[in-house]
A and B are shown apart, each in its own frame.
Chain A
Amino acid sequence: MPVPDPLGARPQAPLKVGLQAHRTGIGAVYGKWYERTARAAVQVINAGGGIAGRPVALIIEDDGTDPRRGIEVVEKLALQHRVDFIFGTLFSNVVLASAPRAGELRIPYLVVSEGYHVASGKLNRWTFQAGITDVRAQVTAVAPWIVENLGKRIAMIFPDYAFGYDHRDFFGAAARRLGAEIVAQVPIPPTETSFTKYFPRLPRDVDVIYHVMVGPGVLTFVRELGEYFGSRRPQLFGFIDSLEGVDLASPGLEYLEGSYLWEALPRYAGQYDTPWERQYREAVGVDANGASREDPRDVSTYSHMFGVWETLFVIKEVVEKSGYRGPQDYRAFIETLEGIERFEEGLAHPQGPKRFVGQIHQVFAQQFISRVVGGKLEVVHRTRIEESLYPPEADYTTQPL
Chain B
Amino acid sequence: MTGQLALALLEGTVSSLLLALTAVGLSLTFGVMRIVNIAHGEFFMLGAVLAWAITAATGSFLVAVVVAPLGVAGLAVLIDALALRPVRYAPDATIVITLGWLYILQQLTLLLYGPEARAVAPPLLGTVSLPWFGYSRYKLLVAAVAACLLGGVWWLVRGTTLGLLMRATQQDAEIAQAFAVPVPRVYRGAFALGAALAAVAGVLVVPVQQAHYLMGLDALLLSFMVVILGGLGNLRGTLAASFVIGYLDAGVSIFFTPTLARLLASLLVALALVVRGGGLFGEARA
The interface of chain A, by Cβ under 8 A from chain B, is 24-26, 28-29, 31-32, 160, 188-189, 191-194, 196-200, 215-220, 223-224, 227-230, 245-246, 250-252, 298-299
Contact = CB atoms under 8 A, between A and B. Distances in A.
A216 B205 CA distance: 14
Given A32-B114, A216-B117, 13 more contacts: A24-B107, A24-B110, A24-B115, A25-B214, A191-B218, A193-B218, A194-B209, A198-B258, A200-B3, A219-B209, A224-B136, A230-B129, A251-B121
Contacts of B133: 199, 228-230
A32 B214 CA distance: 16
Contact of A217 (B7, B209, B253, B254): B209
Contacts of A223: 136, 208
Interface of B: 3-4, 7-8, 11, 15, 107, 110, 114-122, 127, 129, 133-136, 208-210, 212, 214-215, 218, 250, 253-254, 258-259, 262
A28 B254 contact: no
Given A192-B258, A216-B215, A252 B134 contact: no
Contact of A246 (B117, B209, B253, B262): B117
B254 A197 contact: yes
Contacts of A252: 119, 121
Nearest to A31: B115
Contacts of B15: 194
Given A29-B115, A32-B115, A227-B127, A193 B209 contact: yes
B208 A220 contact: yes
Contacts of A192: 258
Of B3, B118, B218, most buried by chain A (CB within 10 Å of CB) is B118
A194 B120 CA distance: 16
B46 to A, nearest CB: 16
B253 A197 contact: yes
Contacts of B210: 216, 219-220
Contacts of A29: 114-116
A32 B110 CA distance: 11
A224 B127 CA distance: 10
A200 B4 contact: yes
5 contacts: A197-B7, A197-B8, A216-B215, A220-B209, A230-B133
Majority SS of interface residues in chain B? mixed
Contacts of B135: 227
Nearest to A253: B119
**Chain A CB within 10 Å, residue with most, of B15, B110, B116:** B116
A25 to B, nearest CB: 8
A251 B115 contact: no
A-B residue pairs, 9 tightest by C-beta: A28-B115, A216-B117, A251-B121, A216-B212, A197-B253, A230-B134, A219-B119, A227-B136, A29-B115
Nearest to A230: B134
A200 B262 CA distance: 19
B7 A227 contact: no
A373 B121 CA distance: 20
A188 B250 CA distance: 14
B273 to A, nearest CB: 24
Nearest to A186: B257
B134 A227 contact: yes
Contacts of A229: 133-134
Contacts of A160: 259
Given A191-B218, A216-B212, A228 B134 contact: yes
A188 B253 CA distance: 11
Contacts of B250: 197
